[in-house]
C-alpha cells in the first residue's frame, strides 16, 4: 500500500492543482510563476477550496540571527562576530522615508489589500498574458516576508536555501496560505518592521539597520529620502543594484524608486527631481566580522571564547545545538579579559619576539582563586597571511591549539615536589644526585605493576659540576635532573599522577600523562593555559580552579533580552596549604638566586620555574605572584627549530634557556599587568639553609655565572613512551625511548 501523504493524502502538486481551481487564487499563483490557463487544468472549485484549507497554517518564525559582541571585563568591545550582519530595530527607529520607499517600490497597495492583492494579480495576469511569459509578479510584501522567513530558517545550508526559494506550485501556495495567517496575526506595521529587519540588502548586510551602517555609516532612523530610495531599490536584486560595485546601475534604480514614491504621493515631484540630482553619498563601512578584528591581538582569546561556548553543555545538549545558538547570535558576551593585562602581554611579546622570527612565543595569565583568564596572546598575530596563524598556541588541541601542546621541561618539577611533600617528605629531603645515573628501578605505579628500566637509559645533569648530595631547595633552584628522578623513584609514580590529575595537567591532545619516570623532566606536551592554571594553585595555597573566560551572556531575540546561564569555575583542593606554601618558598628561590633570576620581579613577592627541552626546541617560564599566574612558551609550532645560534627579537643567543627569553617576557608582562594592583605576600615557610655543599656550589657558581640561565638545560629527555630525544643543546645525552616505539616530541628540563 502506498504511503499516505499529509494534506488528505495529496502530494503538494495535487494540492496545488485542486487549489488552482479557485480562479482568483489561481491568478495569484499564475502571476508569480508561468503556468497554463486555469481552464486547461479542468479543476473543480469545491475541491480546490478543500485542498487549500487542508494546508498547514503554522508559520514558525525563527528569531532573526544577529551579530554577537564579545566584551572584555570592563565592557570594552573585543570583537564582533556574526553569521549574518544584522541589528534588529523597532519600526520607530527606521526613517519614515525608508518605510515609504520600500512600500512604494515593492507593494504600493500594501495598506489597502490583505495577504493577496487581487488588483495586482489581475494586472500581472494581463501583462504576463500579453508577453507570453512572466514579466511581472504580484507577490505582496507579506508574501515576500514569508519567503524570507524560510530563507532565514535555512541559514547557511545551501540545499535548504534552494528549497526555500524554489518557484514551485506547492511552495507558492504554501506562501499564500501562510501570508494570510501572518496578516491576521501581526498586522501591517509589524509585518513592515519584520520585513525591513529580515531582508537582504547586499554587501553582507541583513536588515535595514545593518544596510544603513554599511552604505552610509549611519543609523536607519537618520536616512534621507534619496538614501532610503537607494536601499529600497537594492532589495529586488542586491548584486545587480550594488552601489559599491556599480554606481551607475544603482543610481538608475534609486531614481526609479523616487519616481514611484512621487507617483503614489509619498513625496512631491519636485522633491523627487531634487533627490534624483543628488549624488549617492556613500560612506561605506566595510564589514568587520570575526576574531580577526579583535583589539590588542586578542583574536586568539576571542576564538577560545567561541570554542568554550561550543563545548559547554550549559549552552545546549549537543555541539550542534550549541552551534545553532552561536549562529543565531544576538549575544553580548562579557568575558574575563583584563585590557590592562592583555595590552601588557602583547607589548612584552612584541618587544622580545618579532613576528618574523623563526620561533614564536605565547603567554597566558590566570587569576589564582577564581580561574579567570585575564590575558592570552602570542607573537605571531591571528590571521591568514605570512607569519600569521589561526592556531592558538596557548590552549589544547580541542580548543583550537596545537595537536600536542609543547614539552614543558623543568617547569614540571614543582609538581613532583608537591607530590613528595604530600607524601610526607620534608622540605629538606636530600638525595645523592650524582652527575649521571641510570633511571632507578623498579618504580611503583598506580596499577601496582612496577616500571622497569629495560632499556638501561641514563639521565645526566646540566653540567658535570652538578654533583650532590642536594636538598630540595637547592635542587629546585639549580634544576638538578638526577635529584627529581631519584625523588620519583622514592615516592613512586602514582603520587605524581594523582597530583597532576588534581591540577588538571593533561597533554595538549587531551590525553592523560604517561606513567613513566621521565615525565618528571617535562617530556610531554602541555599548553600554556594548563600550566598557568596549575601554578595558580600554588599561588592560591593549594586550591585549583578550572579556567573560565565567560562572565555573563545576554541574548537579544527580536526585541527581547534574556540572560543565559554560563559555566562557573570549579575550585577544589589539590594539595594542603602547607605544601603549596612550601612550593612557593622553593620557587621564590628560583627567581631570587636560581635559574629564573632574570625573570624576578623586584617590587612584589613572586615565584616561578624555568624549563628548556630536548635540543632546545622549547623554552618556558611559568611563575606567579599571590594574585596572578602566568606561563610563557617560546619555540616553533612545528618543533623543528633548535634554538641555538639564533636571533630572537633582534637579540642573538648562542643557546636559549628558559630564563633567557621566556623569563624576561614573563617579567615585563606581569609588571604591566600588575601595575597599580595590590601586592600581597606569600605565606612562606622556613626551610633550613644547606651547608653540606656550600663550598662546592660556590666554586660551581664561579664557573657558571649566575645570569638566570644556569642549570636549565642540557638533558636528553624523550625518555617516555613515544619520544625520540636527540640530545641536549650542549651535546647532552641521546635519548632512546624506554616504553615502546613512537615519534612524540621528546622533552627535558
Q: What is the pLDDT of residue 55?
A: 47
> Mean pLDDT across the stretch 293-302?
92
* Gap between the Cα atoms of 715 and 228, Å rounded: 71
Report pLDDT digits (tens) over 65-74: 888 999 999 9
52, exposed or middle or buried, with CB in 10 Å at 0-12, 13-18, 19+?
buried
Report pLDDT digits (tens) over 27-56: 444 444 333 333 333 334 444 444 445 444
Average of per-residue pLDDT values in the chain: 82
Report pLDDT digits (tens) over 346-370: 999 999 999 999 999 999 999 999 9
Tell me: pLDDT of 591 over 50: yes
Cis, bond preceding 490 (omega within 30 deg of 0) = no
Between 1.10.101.10, 3.40.720.10, 3.40.50.20, 3.40.710.10, what CATH number should domain 70-85+291-749 receive? Answer: 3.40.710.10
* Gap between the Cα atoms of 257 and 600, Å rounded: 70
Partners of 550 in the β-ladder: 335
Task: Indicate the domain borders of the chain.
Answer: 70-85+291-749
The residue to which cell 578584528 is assigned: 293
Pairing mode, strands 68-71 and 331-335: parallel
* Gap between the Cα atoms of 532 and 632, Å rounded: 9
Q: What is the pLDDT of residue 718?
A: 34
Tell me: pLDDT of 88 over 70: yes
Bigger pLDDT: 404 vs 51: 404
Partners of 648 in the β-ladder: 651
Q: Which helix (H) or strand (E) element contains residue 668?
A: helix 662-674
Task: Give the side-chain half-sphere CA count within 13 A for 650.
Answer: 5
Report pLDDT digits (tens) over 405-416: 899 999 999 999
pTM above 0.85? no
* Gap between the Cα atoms of 105 and 739, Å rounded: 76
* Gap between the Cα atoms of 358 and 642, Å rounded: 10
Report whether 242 contacts 250 (CB < 8 A).
Answer: yes
How many beta carbons lie within 10 A of that of residue 372, not counting itself?
22
Report pLDDT digits (tens) over 205-257: 999 999 999 999 999 999 999 999 999 999 999 989 999 989 999 999 999 99
Amino acid at each position: 500500500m502506498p504511503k499516505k501523504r499529509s494534506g488528505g493524502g495529496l502530494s503538494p502538486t495535487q494540492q496545488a492543482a485542486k487549489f488552482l481551481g479557485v480562479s482568483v487564487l489561481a491568478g495569484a499563483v499564475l502571476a508569480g510563476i508561468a503556468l497554463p490557463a486555469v481552464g486547461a487544468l479542468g479543476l473543480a472549485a469545491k475541491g480546490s477550496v478543500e485542498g487549500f484549507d487542508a494546508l498547514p497554517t503554522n508559520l514558525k518564525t525563527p528569531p532573526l540571527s544577529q551579530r554577537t559582541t564579545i566584551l572584555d571585563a570592563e565592557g570594552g568591545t573585543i570583537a564582533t562576530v556574526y553569521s549574518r550582519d544584522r541589528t534588529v530595530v523597532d519600526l520607530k527607529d527606521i526613517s519614515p522615508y525608508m518605510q515609504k520607499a520600500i512600500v512604494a517600490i515593492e507593494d504600493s497597495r500594501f495598506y489597502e489589500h490583505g495577504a493577496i492583492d487581487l488588483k495586482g494579480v489581475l494586472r500581472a495576469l494581463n501583462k504576463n498574458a500579453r508577453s507570453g511569459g512572466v514579466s511581472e509578479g504580484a507577490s505582496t510584501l507579506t508574501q515576500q516576508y514569508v519567503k524570507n522567513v524560510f530563507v532565514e530558517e535555512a541559514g547557511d545550508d545551501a540545499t535548504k536555501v534552494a528549497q526555500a526559494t524554489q518557484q514551485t506550485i506547492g511552495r507558492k501556495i504554501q506562501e499564500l496560505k501562510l501570508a494570510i495567517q501572518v496578516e491576521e496575526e501581526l498586522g501591517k506595521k509589524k509585518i513592515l518592521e519584520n520585513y525591513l529587519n529580515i531582508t537582504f540588502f547586499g554587501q553582507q548586510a541583513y536588515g535595514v539597520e545593518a544596510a544603513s551602517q554599511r552604505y552610509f555609516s549611519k543609523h536607519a532612523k537618520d536616512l534621507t529620502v534619496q538614501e532610503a530610495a537607494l536601499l529600497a531599490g537594492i532589495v529586488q536584486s542586491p548584486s545587480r543594484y550594488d552601489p559599491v560595485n556599480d554606481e551607475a546601475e544603482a543610481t538608475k534604480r534609486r531614481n526609479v524608486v523616487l519616481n514611484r514614491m512621487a507617483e503614489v504621493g509619498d513625496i512631491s515631484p519636485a522633491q523627487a527631481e531634487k533627490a534624483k540630482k543628488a549624488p549617492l553619498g556613500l560612506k561605506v563601512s566595510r564589514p568587520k566580522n570575526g576574531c580577526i578584528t579583535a583589539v590588542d591581538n586578542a583574536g586568539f582569546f576571542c576564538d577560545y571564547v567561541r570554542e568554550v561556548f561550543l563545548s559547554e553543555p550549559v549552552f545546549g545538549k549537543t555541539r550542534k545545538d550549541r552551534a545553532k545558538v552561536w549562529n543565531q547570535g544576538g549575544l553580548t558576551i562579557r568575558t574575563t579579559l583584563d585590557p590592562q593585562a592583555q595590552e601588557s602581554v602583547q607589548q612584552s611579546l612584541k618587544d622580545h619576539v618579532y613576528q618574523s622570527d623563526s620561533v614564536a612565543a605565547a603567554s597566558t595569565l590566570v587569576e589564582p582563586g577564581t580561574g579567570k583568564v585575564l590575558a592570552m596572546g602570542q607573537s605571531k598575530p591571528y590571521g591568514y597571511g605570512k607569519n600569521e596563524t589561526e592556531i592558538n598556541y596557548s590552549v589544547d588541541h580541542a580548543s583550537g591549539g596545537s595537536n600536542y601542546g609543547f614539552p614543558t621541561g623543568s617547569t614540571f618539577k614543582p609538581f613532583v615536589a608537591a607530590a613528595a611533600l604530600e607524601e610526607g617528605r620534608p622540605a629538606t629531603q636530600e638525595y645523592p644526585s650524582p652527575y649521571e645515573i641510570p633511571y632507578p628501578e623498579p618504580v611503583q605505579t598506580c596499577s601496582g605493576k612496577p616500571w622497569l628500566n629495560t632499556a638501561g637509559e641514563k639521565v645526566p645533569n646540566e653540567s658535570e659540576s652538578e654533583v650532590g648530595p642536594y636538598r630540595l631547595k637547592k635542587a629546585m633552584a639549580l634544576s638538578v635532573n638526577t635529584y627529581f628522578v631519584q625523588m620519583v623513584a622514592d615516592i613512586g609514580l602514582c603520587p605524581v599522577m594523582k597530583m597532576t590529575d588534581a591540577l588538571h595537567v593533561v597533554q595538549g591532545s587531551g590525553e592523560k600523562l604517561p606513567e613513566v619516570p621521565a615525565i618528571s623532566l617535562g617530556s610531554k606536551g602541555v599548553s600554556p593555559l594548563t600550566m598557568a592554571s596549575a601554578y595558580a594553585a600554588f599561588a592560591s595555597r593549594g586550591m585549583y580552579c578550572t579556567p573560565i573566560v565567560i562572565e555573563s551572556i545576554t541574548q537579544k531575540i527580536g526585541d527581547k533580552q534574556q540572560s543565559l546561564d554560563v559555566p562557573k569555575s570549579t575550585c577544589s583542593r589539590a594539595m594542603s596549604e602547607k605544601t603549596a606554601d612550601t612550593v612557593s618558598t622553593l620557587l621564590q628561590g628560583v627567581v631570587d638566586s636560581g635559574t629564573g633570576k632574570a625573570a624576578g620581579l623586584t617590587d612584589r613577592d613572586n615565584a616561578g620555574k624555568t624549563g628548556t627541552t630536548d635540543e632546545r626546541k622549547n623554552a618556558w617560564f611559568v611563575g606567579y605572584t599571590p594574585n596572578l599566574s602566568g606561563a610563557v612558551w617560546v619555540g616553533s609550532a612545528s618543533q623543528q627549530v633548535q634554538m641555538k645560534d639564533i636571533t630572537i627579537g633582534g637579540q642573538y643567543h648562542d643557546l636559549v634557556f628558559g630564563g633567557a627569553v621566556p623569563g624576561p617576557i614573563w617579567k615585563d608582562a606581569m609588571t604591566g599587568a600588575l601595575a597599580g594592583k595590590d601586592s600581597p605576600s606569600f605565606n612562606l615557610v622556613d626551610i633550613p639553609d644547606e651547608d653540606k655543599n656550600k663550598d662546592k656550589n660556590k666554586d660551581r657558581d664561579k664557573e657558571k655565572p649566575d645570569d638566570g640561565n644556569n642549570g636549565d638545560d642540557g638533558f636528553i629527555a624523550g625518555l617516555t613512551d613515544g619520544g625520540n630525544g636527540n640530545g641536549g643543546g650542549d651535546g647532552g645525552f641521546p635519548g632512546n625511548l624506554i616504553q615502546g616505539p613512537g615519534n612524540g616530541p621528546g622533552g627535558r628540563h
